[in-house]
Amino acid sequence: MVTPDGRNVIATSGVADVKTRGPVSPDGYLRIASQTKTFVATVVLQLVGEGKLSLDDKVERWLPGVVSGKGNNGRKISVRQLLQHTGGLHDDYVDYTSEDDFSEHRNDVYTPEQTVARAMKHHPDFRPGKNWGYSNTGYVLLGMIVQRVTGHAWHEEVRDRIVRPLGLEHTFWPGTSPKLPEPHAKTYQRFKPGEPLVDATEQVGQGINGEAGLVSTTADLNRFFGALLAGRLLPPAQLAQMKRTVGISKAFEPLMPGAKDGLGLFSHPLPCGGVYWGHEGGDSGWITNTGVTADGRRSVTVSMTGAIAESPDHVLRIVAAESKLLENALCPTPTNSN
């Protein structure tokens, strides 16, 4: 975590490998999965601030004919709705169901066009702007829009606009490589109760097209989210837009109690008052979550490997533990104040 006086504090627990029992490295690499969405949203809002894009632009303007069929209509979905998960687009992402399924598909690679085309085989989940539903498809489209506007891939814009200016030396897009640089902890997945642990460390992951895909470290994530909330990456008008929230769905509420969704950024209530901002990411075996106070001065990233989500109840217990760690770090108390 980063304390208000700028100190970096890192705590580790457990082991990095269940066989060797080696210690967890404090600067280990990890796949940040959906935390990538906040990086993409920041690039989009920078383009808005530069007048190259509008939040009210419809998808059809930048990607003609891409969102169509089965009732999907790119003329009715705005960039803002993609950012805020209110566009109604269906996700065609299937979780691995078994060790055999994981082994067969762990390194499957899909282009952005293929991912969107899969979604277009489904009717929308709801009419644009009429509900909220977490949509990886929407962020794949945002990555495609960034490329159309700038002429560069989304991850190149993230590198040039965020990673290099902030000096995030351990944050990058690995492309289709299933490997992580050293050091890193191994991670494990159990697909059904009672089954053995499966080493899930090497995988491409569910997505690499803007909905997910970046590799980073907890220190780099703290620096990024802290800089974002401190106003170092976006003009005030665009940061204010990012923090304009809507409610999430009832189905998502148990996973994110009290959360509201901005543009690539969620707010969460703090037990000590006020809110913190951040985003979670998860792939098979990994869960990472970053929270930062509204002024960007105090931030914390929690990364868990071996997050064995073998049942809905297990998932809720993981979420509760993760949230408690974030809240304890962000609320100034006699035991953690500075």
| 271-287 pLDDT, tens digit each | 999 999 999 998 877 88
In terms of Cα–Cα distance, which of 171, 176, 301, 292 is closest to 227?
292
Q: Give the chain's mean pLDDT.
A: 92
Domains of the chain: 30-330 (3.40.710.10)
Give the dihedral sign, CA 42/45/50/52: positive
Answer yes or no: 34 catalytic.
yes
> What is the pTM assigned to this prediction?
0.95
Burial class (CB in 10 A: 0-12, 13-18, 19+), 105: middle
Q: Where on the phi/psi map is residue 302: left (φ > 0), alpha (ψ -120 to 50), or beta?
A: beta
Q: Mind listing the pLDDT tens digit for each residue in 236-271?
A: 999 999 999 999 999 999 989 999 999 999 999 999
Q: What percent of the chain has pLDDT over 90?
A: 72
Contact of 228 with 38, CB cutoff 8 Å: yes
Q: Mind listing the pLDDT tens digit for each residue in 54-108?
A: 999 999 999 999 999 999 999 999 999 999 999 999 998 777 888 888 889 889 9
Question: Rounded CA gap, 277 and 255, in Å?
Answer: 16
Q: Which of 34, 216, 267, 303 is catalytic?
A: 34
